[in-house]
Amino acid sequence: MSVDRTQHDLVMSLMRCINPGPIFYRAVSFNFGDWNKDSSWDFMTSGHPGLNCITPHKFSKQEIEVVKKYLPRFLKYFSDDKFKLRIALSRFDKGCLDQEQEDKLIDYVISLESVLIGDSGTDLKLRFSLRGASLLGNTQDERSELFTRLANAYEARNHLVHGSSKGDFTKVDVETLSHIAGRAILKMIDLSNLNLKKEQILKALDRFPFSRKENEGIDEVLARTLTNSK
């Protein structure tokens, strides 16, 4: 696929969503031709460091294939961005480039808020945690673990931004949180294929947080619900 230079930022953002880290322009010296034919993928083959000029940052062969798979959808999505995910992507990118763990945590939580909280009201922490777990967890155990991680992250962010004691910051694995934030952005792009508004997706996340079949993702739940409603 041909990639225009004006889309350079989005290519970097996609790569960070799949494998979060401080990926910089100067560390990625590929041209923008046909990515399936050019040797520009050499720097990302398994075992080759070099996406990052601070510490080695590797992309596995499987991750390279995911980049290729998502690239057309990612670029098309953000040319329209009907779900208004640009803020989510911007804060996610900033989190990847931040030096301090506290700053990373704050930016990743803001990114996730932009994805998961599209309405005002009360119980924001509960909705943030519940929707994130519902969006990304396919099994009961996965959803329970995600709920706890997201609740801890939300609470820690609040402590940090309000100048309180760091307290619960020690409960948050910031690296894991970065992967959760990247996955959330990609998942919303996947769900955009169902031609639903963001508000409809958020309502579904509230409605089917845990009451669904084992190993059933929210995309399958939404597709089944749409089919049954016809």
Exposure letters 31-40 (e unless 16+ CB within 10 A, then b):
ebeebeeeeb
3-state helix, strand, coil in the chain (%, to 5): 65, 0, 35
pLDDT value at residue 60? 74
* Confidence band for 84, pLDDT divided at 50, 70 and 90: confident
Q: How many residues does the chain have?
A: 230
* Confidence band for 146, pLDDT divided at 50, 70 and 90: very high
Neighbours of 125 (CB within 10 A): 16
| pTM for the full predicted model | 0.82
HEC letters along 59-85: CCHHHHHHHHHHHHHHHHHHHHCCCCC
Contacts of 30 (CB under 8 A, 6+ apart): 38, 40, 41, 43
**Cβ pair 16, 67 in contact under 8 A:** no
* Confidence band for 192, pLDDT divided at 50, 70 and 90: confident
Neighbours of 96 (CB within 10 A): 25
Largest CA distance in the chain: 53
Q: What is the pLDDT of residues 113-136, one digit of tens each?
A: 999 997 667 789 999 999 999 999
Mean pLDDT of 39-48: 35
Q: What DSSP state is assigned to residue 35?
A: T
State the chain's mean pLDDT as an integer: 77
How far apart, in whole angstroms, are the C-alpha atoms of residue 77 and residue 43? 26
* Confidence band for 166, pLDDT divided at 50, 70 and 90: low
Mean pLDDT of 162-166: 67
* Confidence band for 165, pLDDT divided at 50, 70 and 90: low
Distances (CA, A) of 61 to 13, 45, 133, 151: 18, 6, 28, 33
* Confidence band for 39, pLDDT divided at 50, 70 and 90: very low
Judged against a pLDDT cut of 50, whether residue 45 lies above it is answered with no
Q: What is the pLDDT of residues 171-191, one digit of tens each?
A: 899 999 999 999 999 999 888
For residue 111, give both structure tokens: 């990114």
